[in-house]
Amino acid sequence: MFPSRRMVGAGLLAAPALLSARMAHAAGRPVTVASLFGEDKPETKIWRRIAETLNRTAPGRFDLRIVGNAALGGEKEVAEGMRLGSVQASLSTISALSGWVPEGQLLDLPFLFRDRGHLGRVLAGPLGDELKGKYEAQGFVVLGFINYGARHLLAKEPLTTPAAIRGKRIRVIQSPLHTELWSGLGAHPTPIPIPETYNALRTGVVDCMDLTKSAYVGFKLHEVVPWLIETGHIWASGVIMVSAAFWKGLSAEDKAAFAAAAAEAAGYFDALIVADEEASMARAAAEGGKVAQTEDRPAWEAGARKVWVSFAPRLGGLPRIEAIAASA
**CATH number (domain holding residue 189):** 3.40.190.170
Find, among 214, 210, 215, 208, the residue nearest to 230 by Cα: 210
- Length of the chain (residues): 328
Find, among 108, 173, 96, 109, the residue nearest to 135 by Cα: 96
Rounded to two decimals, the pTM is 0.82
Residues 6+ apart with CB under 8 A from 281: 213, 217, 228, 289, 291
Q: How many domains does one find in the chain? A: 1
As a whole number of angstroms, the distance between CA 145 and CA 237 comes to 7
Q: What is the pLDDT of residue 126?
A: 95
Residue 248 CB burial class (10 angstroms; 0-12, 13-18, ≥19): exposed
Considering all CA atoms of the chain, what is the largest pairwise distance in Å, rounded to the nearest integer?
95
How do strand 89-93 and strand 29-34 relate by DSSP bridges?
parallel
Q: What is the pLDDT of residue 15?
A: 37
**In this structure, are residues 160 and 293 in contact, taking their beta carbons and an 8 Å threshold?**
yes
Residues 6+ apart with CB under 8 A from 146: 46, 91, 237, 238, 239, 240, 266, 269, 270, 273
The residue type of 60 is G
The residue type of 76 is K
Mind listing the pLDDT tens digit for each residue in 254-266?
999 999 999 999 9
**In this structure, are residues 154 and 208 in contact, taking their beta carbons and an 8 Å threshold?**
yes
As a whole number of angstroms, the distance between CA 226 and CA 159 comes to 12
As a whole number of angstroms, the distance between CA 318 and CA 322 comes to 6
Per-residue pLDDT of the chain (328 residues; tens, 9 = 90+): 334 433 334 343 333 333 333 333 447 999 999 999 999 999 999 999 999 999 999 999 999 999 999 999 999 999 999 999 999 999 999 989 999 999 999 999 999 999 999 999 999 999 999 999 999 999 999 999 999 999 999 999 999 999 999 999 999 988 889 999 999 999 999 999 888 999 999 999 999 999 999 999 999 999 999 999 999 999 999 999 999 999 999 999 999 999 999 999 999 999 999 999 999 999 999 999 999 999 998 899 888 899 999 999 999 999 999 999 999 8
Domain that holds residue 175: 5-326
How many beta carbons lie within 10 A of that of residue 163, not counting itself? 12
